[in-house]
Amino acid sequence: MTIDKQVYPRRPLLPNTAHSCLGILGGGQLGRMFAHAAQAIGYKVAVLEPEAGCPAAQVAEHHVQAQYDDVAGLSVLHTLATRVTTEFENVPADSLNYFTCDGFVAPSGACVSIAQDRLAEKHFFTRCALKNGVYPAPHWGIAIHDDVVSAPEDLLPGILKTVRMGYDGKGQVRVRNRAELELAFAGMNGQHCILEKMLPLAYEVSVLVARGVDGEAVVYPIAENVHRDGILFTTLVPSPNISPEITEKAQAAALDIIAELGYVGVLCIEFFILEDGTLAVNEMAPRPHNSGHYTIDACITSQFEQQVRALAQLPLGDVRQHSPAAMLNILGDVWFENETSDQVREPAWDQIMAIPGAHLHLYGKAEARRARKMGHITFVASSMQEAQSALAKACTILGIAAPENV
User: Which residue in 25, 33, 173, 199 binds ligand ADP (CB under 6 A)?
Assistant: 199
| CB 201, min distance to Mg ion, A | 12
168 is a contact residue toward ligand ADP (CB under 6 A): yes
| CB 41, min distance to ligand ADP, A | 31
The stretch among 5-13, 192-200, 324-332, 360-368 that binds ligand ADP (CB under 6 A) is 192-200
Distances (CA, A) of 69 to 25, 77, 82, 98: 10, 12, 19, 9
Phi-psi region of 364 (alpha: psi -120 to 50; beta: other; left: phi over 0): left
| CB 235, min distance to ligand ADP, A | 12
Q: Which is nearer to ligand ADP, 4 or 168 (CB)?
A: 168
Please, is 306 exposed, middle or buried when counting C-beta atoms within 10 Å of its C-beta (0-12, 13-18, 19+)? buried
| CB 270, min distance to Mg ion, A | 5
Asked if 304 contacts 312 with a C-beta cutoff of 8 angstroms, the reply is no
Which contacts (CB < 8 Å, 24+ apart) does range 251-256 have?
251/207, 251/219, 251/222, 252/132, 253/128, 253/129, 253/132, 253/133, 253/134, 253/207, 253/279, 253/281, 254/207, 254/209, 254/219, 255/209, 255/217, 255/219, 256/128, 256/131, 256/132
Q: Which is nearer to ligand ADP, 71 or 202 (CB)?
A: 202
Q: Which is nearer to Mg ion, 123 or 178 (CB)?
A: 123
Alpha helices in 22-70 (DSSP H): 29-41
Q: Which is nearer to ligand ADP, 68 or 140 (CB)?
A: 140
The stretch among 102-110, 162-170, 186-194, 348-356 that binds ligand ADP (CB under 6 A) is 162-170
Query: x/- site string to ligand ADP, residues 101 to 140, per CB under 6 A?
Result: ------------------------------------x---
Which residues, 6+ apart, have CB-to-CB distance to 46 below 8 Å? 21, 22, 23, 24, 60, 61, 62, 63, 64, 77, 80, 81
- In the three-class reduction of DSSP (H, G, I as helix; E, B as strand; rest coil), residue 189 is classed as coil
144 is a contact residue toward ligand ADP (CB under 6 A): no
| CB 291, min distance to ligand ADP, A | 10
User: Which residue in 49, 117, 121, 196 binds ligand ADP (CB under 6 A)?
Assistant: 196
- Provide the binding-site residues for ligand ADP, judged by CB under 6 A: 137, 159, 166-169, 196, 198-199, 201, 204, 227, 230, 270, 282-283
* Residues making contact with Mg ion (CB under 5 A): 270
